[in-house]
Structure formats: C-alpha cells, structure tokens
Amino acid sequence: MLLVKRANDPSRGSWELPAGFVEPDEAPAAAVAREVLEETGVVIDVHSLLDILHRPDPGGMADLVIVYKGLYVSGDVTAGDDADEAAWFKQDALPEVALVTTQRMTQLWVTGKI
C-alpha cells in the first residue's frame, strides 16, 4: 500500500493514504491520479471504486471521501510538497495511521477484502 507521511494538519506526521480535493472541472478518478502523482511521484491507473464515506466537518460543512483502488504504472516514490515522506508498505508492516478513512482501508486490505 502506498502511503504518505502528512506534512500538514489534520494528522500532521501520521502515515495516510494520498488525498486531496477535486478541482471544479475534474472527475473524482482523475483527481485521485493527480493527487497520487503530486504527493508520491507515482503514476497509477485508477482501477475501481472502493468506498464513499461521509465525514462531518467541524465548520458545519461535510466531506465526501471517495476511495479508489489504483494500480501502479510507473514512477519512483518521492514525497511531494505536502508530504514529508512517501513509501510502499507490505500488509504485515503497515505503520500506525490516524485518519478513519486510512484505518478502514488498511483493515480491509490486511483482511483480504480489497
């Protein structure tokens, strides 16, 4: 699993899935590919939708977290500007993660459900 160590809040310093916002003229799958490239230097093929989660925001808004499975295409792992580190992890060597979305996805991966 490809994870980044976050350089910014929320959860600064924790390992998490690459993530970001969808641009106004961008499809969610295209945003995933762009964010993974920006944060890790890795080109992926966005393969399949894994989950959609609703997350309330303390400011009175809400986020929809859309999670896709990506398949490695090319590139060397290099941390982008909003990540302190980026790395591949095996199922038996995952670091501790803080965000609920990453906790859920790592658990599904370790148990073979994704």
Q: Which residue has the tokens 């580190």?
A: 85
Task: Mention every residue, 6+ apart, whose C-beta is less than 8 A from residue 47.
Answer: 68, 69, 70, 71
**Looking at 26, 35, 85, 96, which residue is catalytic?**
85
Q: How far is CA 14 from the centre of its chain?
A: 12
35 belongs to the catalytic site: no
**Residues with catalytic annotation?**
85
